[in-house]
Amino acid sequence: MSGSDTAAEHTPVLLPQVLAALNVRASGVYLDATYGRGGHAGAIVEKLVADGRLLCLDRDPVAVAEARARFAADSRVSVFLSPFSALAACADHIASGLKFDGILFDLGVSSPQLDDPSRGFSFMQDGPLDMRMSKGVGPTAADVVNGASEAELIRIFREFGEERFAPRIARAIVADRASKPFERTLELAEMISRVARTRERHKHPATRVFQALRIHVNGELDELEAALNAAFERLVPQGRLAVISFHSLEDRIVKQFMRRHASTDPVYAGLPFVPAHAAPKLRLVGKAIQADSEETARNPRARSARLRVAERLFEGIAA
């Protein structure tokens, strides 16, 4: 997290690169699917004229309240409290079948979410073991830690945290929770420090388990798969999809999604005639973009950011 971020701020990562990737046109229609504190959204709006349009989504009511207050007097901007997997319904709310010239996903949690101990995302600060981005909705991390079977905990820690000590940590959780359920972030983080080590320098031993619980509690990977498909359907020809991910599980999904749609359906590979439905639908725009040393020095959170960009092709046109 950026040392310069305060409780209410979030420094947008790769901002000039995102603006270039989206190729923002003054009268275009854009979607920021992860408003956060609107660092990217604000910069997009600045480029729009009166008939340009920006839809902003976030599943966190605190982010949405900030967006609504900020853009209350701006008729170009509409704000939705919604998971981004439901972006088509939000777009339809403005105009049935509305499509976009550019769609941005800046995945993960924001600095204000991470820095607020009451949200329970951080293993560095004590708070309730919550981790829900959709504040107050659905099971908490404590529900998972105290309720899931040992086998399920191992699966979560392995699949979403790539945690090599998953069995050891899950066993210790099940043993400890029998006498007292886990309620606080630091209870869990300190227990993990006792039973597991990290071989990664500068990483707290609880890093991977906290990441895994967060991904599981928020259904992050399923959300991303569904949202990429929905976004793809809602791009105009030459519309741009820009996705910033912060860990390899997300980046793999984004990379595979873009590559799949940028290729001919393998059933037709090598055949002289490729029907329109089997032709590539996306063009990859450059390689994955990472922050330079100046940005990572200013904002350490940018260190793990990876921006991937693709452009929607005209139907039936080869890449």
Read off the tokens for 231: 């976004």
Length of the chain: 319
Q: How far is the CB of 43 from ligand SAM (least distance, A)?
A: 8
Taking each continuous run of H as one helix and of E as one strand, the counts in the chain are 13, 7
Nearer to ligand SAM, 58 or 101 (CB): 58
Residues that bind ligand SAM (CB under 6 A): 10, 12, 34, 36-40, 57-60, 63, 83-84, 106, 108-110, 133, 223
75 token code pair: 């008729």
For the CB of residue 298, give the shortest distance to ligand SAM in the complex, in Å.
14
Of 109 and 156, which has the nearer Cβ to ligand SAM?
A: 109
Q: How far is the CB of 72 from ligand SAM (least distance, A)?
A: 18
Cβ proximity to ligand SAM, 109 vs 191, nearer residue: 109
User: Nearest 5°: CA angle at 96, between 93 and 102?
Assistant: 80
Least distance from ligand SAM to the Cβ atom of residue 10, Å: 4
In angstroms, rounded to a whole number, what is the distance separating the alpha carbons of residues 26 and 24? Answer: 7
Crossing angle of helices 185-195 and 166-177, in 10° steps, is: 130
Q: Minimal distance in Å, beta carbon 79 to ligand SAM? A: 12
| Burial category of 209 from C-beta neighbours within 10 Å (exposed 0-12, middle 13-18, buried 19 and up) | buried
End-to-end CA distance of the chain: 38
Q: Which is nearer to ligand SAM, 292 or 315 (CB)?
A: 292
Q: Which is nearer to ligand SAM, 10 or 261 (CB)?
A: 10
Q: How far is the CB of 319 from ligand SAM (least distance, A)?
A: 28
Kindly state the tokens that stand for 305: 């950011």
| Residue of this chain nearest to ligand SAM (CB atom) | 36
Backbone angles phi, psi at 77, to 5 degrees: -110, 135
Between 24 and 313, whose beta carbon lies closer to ligand SAM? 24
* 230 or 258: CB nearest ligand SAM: 230
Question: Which amino acid is located at 295 in the chain?
Answer: E
- Coil, strand, or helix at residue 21? helix
Q: Which is nearer to ligand SAM, 8 or 26 (CB)?
A: 8
Give the integer Cα–Cα distance in Å for 23 and 186. 44
Decide if 155 contacts 207 (C-beta within 8 A).
no
- Cβ proximity to ligand SAM, 34 vs 185, nearer residue: 34
Question: To 10 degrees, what angle do helices 207-217 and 150-161 make?
Answer: 100
Tell me the C-alpha distance between 307 and 104, whole Å: 10
Shortest reach from residue 279's CB to ligand SAM, in Å: 30
Token readout for 174 is 């099940």
